[in-house]
Amino acid sequence: MENKENNQKASKDMLTFGILIFGSGMATILLFLISTKNPDFAGTARMMFALTSLFGVAFMIYMKEFRGTGDWKELPIAFRFIWWTILAGNSLNFIEYLMTKFIL
């Protein structure tokens, strides 16, 4: 019974992350397309891209820490390299946006 509840919770979590990432990704694409005609939307498009990166990082951490089964070291080195590359790229994109928007 507990396993079924965990599977339902996991599917709700996956659906939530999917909606967040897909929705912010579509909004980013739409805003970038609008910003080609009206440059005033470029800042908003960058903000949505940063939010998409933030949601991606949160999803990757959730998958690794809470849904990953087995030992992380048992996964192939190529998978771990790709995972860390995507995580680092998304993290750096969000940090760069925050630094340019709020600090500089």
* pLDDT tens per residue, range 9-29: 678 888 898 899 999 999 999
Which parts of 38-98 fold into alpha helices (H)?
Answer: 42-62, 77-98
Residue (of 59, 57, 48) closest to 17 by Cα position? 59
**Cβ neighbourhood burial of 66 (10 Å; 0-12, 13-18, 19+):** exposed
Q: Considering the chain, what percentage of its residues have pLDDT values greater than 90?
A: 58
Q: Which pLDDT value is given to residue 86? A: 93
Distance in angstroms (rounded) separating the CA atoms of residues 69 and 64 = 8
Q: How far apart are CA 10 and CA 43, in angstroms?
A: 34
| Residues 74-86 pLDDT 10s | 888 999 999 999 9
pTM of the model: 0.80
